[in-house]
Structure 1
Amino acid sequence: MNLSQIEAFCTVADTGSVSEAARQLECNRTKLSMAIKALEKELDTQLFVRSGNNVTLSEAGKAIYKDCENLLVTSSRIKQTCAQVSGEFNAEIWIARDDSLPDDMWQDLAHTMNNQFPATSFNIVLASSGDLANLVETHQVDFAFGVDYERIDDPRITYQPLGKIRMMSVCKSDHALSKLRRVNDEELRNSMQAVMVYLNEKDNPELQPFSLRYIGFSSFDYMLSTILTENAWGVLPEPLIRHHLRKQELAVIKHTYGLTQEDYCMFTSAGMSEHPGMSWLADKLSDYLFDF
């Protein structure tokens, strides 16, 4: 039994397809199938139930999946620790972030970080809050920062809360909902809602539309624009809308869940060494959130 066999087993289990697993691992399908068969032979048990082109875990496969996943995480941690001890850090880092915090703040942080750590190239991409954990889990980015909607027990992801972020149900100040002393569920359901949508296929009840009529965006900024220009309401982060509230362009809806709090997190692959630039960035974001 070796790590390549374990990786093949976990990837096939995750994708439900030998072909897709081979594509993700960038290897030959026949070689991948042979690795699975070799693992099954060594363990003397069938790990998958095969039906046409689809494969599902057998009872034995289900029983060992979590341990196999933990082996891969431990292997990654060992490699990252050795890289850290030898002083080797990525010369290029990919960062995903949502737009719950103002763009100008991110631009200032990006420029300062680039000057502080000139040996490293930082690539910062915008993503939906609900996709951040998945982007890290699938190694499309190295780190991610944003509102944590997807908190699950996943040994492949490390969640580091940097602070609380207040989420507000708001509408335009002249919207009918803003005139009500108390808004009930039925009134919200009958009003157009701007909601957050994301590509990750996992169901998330926190991101399900509350209203019967809604329009979805992958960006808080697009939601904000719709709320300001259309007859809609939505749930937005306070740092993004504070100046609109002060100018009385937006009003907080007087509903039971008009004000809630979520964790603002740094998402990291389990076992990955924290680059000094990411430690610096996490501290700056934590200080910023403390002011709210």
Structure 2
Amino acid sequence: MNISQVEAFYHIAELGSVTDAARHLNCNRTKLSMAIKALEKELGVSLFVRTGNHVSLSEIGKAILKDCESLLLTRQRIHDTCAQAKGHFNAEMWVARDDSLPDEFWQDLAHTLNHDYPSTSFNIVLASSGDLANLVETGQVDFAFGVDYERFNSPSITYQPLGKIRMMSVCQFEHPLSKLRRVSDEELRSHMQALMVYLNERDNPDLQPFSLRYIGFSSFDYMLNTILEDNAWGVLPEPLIRQFLRSQKLAVIKHTYGLTQEDYCMFRSATREDHPAMSWLADKISDYLFDF
């Protein structure tokens, strides 16, 4: 049994198709099929149930899937450690973040990172909250920071909560909903809603539209603009809207779920070593959230 055979098995199992796995691994479909046959012959079991062009895991295949994933994660950890020893680690770092915290706060953090860690080039990209875990899991970024909407446990990702972030159902200060002493479900459903959507959306009941009329965005900032300009309501993070509440441009809707809390997390691959810059960044964000 070699690591290439294990990799072939894992990706076919995850994607449910030899063709898709070959495309993902950028290799020949026949080569993958031969690798699986060789692995099954050595182990003396059938790892897949084959029906036409479709494959699904056999019972023994299901039983060894997690162990195979652990082997692949261990391999990646070995590569990362060796890269660090050669001095190639952290020369460039990709960081994804959502927009639940103000841009000015992130700009200050970015300036300090560049000043205090001159040997590392930082690429900080904006992404939807729900896509952060997937960006880390697929290796598109090294670290990610934001609201953990998915709550999707994966052995390949480490989730580090940095603090609680309060989510508020808000509308314009002069919106009819802001004038009600208590807002019912029916009244809330009758008004336009601005809500969060994202590309990697799983079945998340917390993000299902509540209103009969709604418009979805992958950015809290776009949601905020729609609420301010188009007489909609929506659920936004307190750090982003505190100034609008104080200036009475926004009002909190008096609904049962008008105030909730979510975890604000740092996401990283389970195989990736800690980086002092990211530890510093996590501490700064944790201190910032403590004030809320």
TM-score, normalised with respect to structure 2? 0.95
1:240 and 2:243 are equivalent in the alignment: no
Task: Tell me, yes or no, if structure 1 residue 98 matches structure 2 residue 74.
Answer: no
* Residue ranges of structure 1 left out of the alignment (5+ in a row): none
Q: Post-superposition shift, 1:213?
A: 1.4
**Deviations for 1:87-113, whole angstroms, at most 9, x for unmatched residues?**
652211111110000111111111210
2:66 is matched with 66
Matched with 1:231 is 231
- Specify the alignment match of 1:197 in structure 2: 197
What residue in structure 1 maps to residue 124 of structure 2?
124
Amino acid at match of 2:73: V
> Is 1:186 matched up with 2:177?
no
State the identity as a percent.
77
Could you tell me how far 1:83 is from its partner in structure 2? 4.6
Task: Tell me how far apart the structure 2 counterparts of residues 279 and 83 of structure 1 sit (CA, whole Å).
Answer: 20
Between 149-158 and 218-227, the greater mean CA deviation after superposition: 149-158
Cα distance, 1:40 vs. partner? 1.4
Shift of 1:238: 0.4
**Counterpart residue type for residue 222 of structure 2:** Y
Correspondence for 1:45: 45
Q: CA deviation at 1:86?
A: 6.3
Mapped to 2, the partners of 1:112 and 1:32 lie a distance apart of: 47
For 1:246, the aligned partner's letter is R
- Whole-Å separation in 2 of the counterparts to 1:201 and 1:55: 25
State the Cα distance separating 1:215 from its structure 2 match: 0.4
Distance 1:205 1:134 in 2: 19
Cα distance in 1 for residues equivalent to 2:114 and 2:51: 51
Q: Confirm or deny: 8 A CA contact 1:73 1:155 kept in the other structure.
A: no
Distance 1:248 1:201 in 2: 33
Assess if the C-alpha contact under 8 Å between 2:130 and 2:201 holds in 1. Answer: no
Q: More deviation in 206-215 or 262-271?
A: 206-215
Q: Name the CA distance, whole Å, in 2 between partners of 1:189 and 1:275.
A: 46
| 1:168 counterpart letter in structure 2 | M
Unaligned runs of 5+ in 2: none
Deviates more, 1:277-286 or 1:46-55: 46-55
Aligned counterparts of 2:55 and 2:67: Cα–Cα separation in 1: 20
1:119-172 deviation line (CA, Å, top 9, x unaligned): 111111111101110111111111110000112221011000011101000011
Question: CA RMSD for the aligned pairs?
Answer: 1.6
**Match in the other structure for 1:149:** 149
Range with bigger deviation, 234-243 or 207-216: 207-216
Q: 2 CA distance for matches of 1:44 and 1:189?
A: 58
Whole-angstrom distance in 2 between the partners of 1:218 and 1:4:
37
Report whether the alignment pairs 1:29 with 2:29.
Answer: yes
Letter in 2 for 1:165: I
Matching residue of 1:5: 5
Helix, strand or coil for the counterpart of 2:198? coil
CA contact (8 A) 1:89 1:275 kept: no
* Greater mean deviation of Cα atoms: 21-30 or 99-108: 21-30
TM-score between both structures, scaled by the size of structure 1: 0.95
SS in 1 for 2:118: coil
How many residues were matched structurally?
A: 292
Q: Offset of 1:27 from its aligned partner? A: 2.1
Which amino acid in structure 1 is aligned with residue 193 of structure 2? Q
Please give the alpha-carbon distance, in whole angstroms, between the structure 1 residues aligned to 2:83 and 2:99. Answer: 32
Aligned to 1:285: 285
Name the structure 2 match of 1:257.
257
* Residue pair 1:84, 1:273 contacting (<8 A) in 2 also: no
| Per-residue CA distance 1:248-276 (angstroms, 9 max, x = gap) | 00000001111111000000111210122
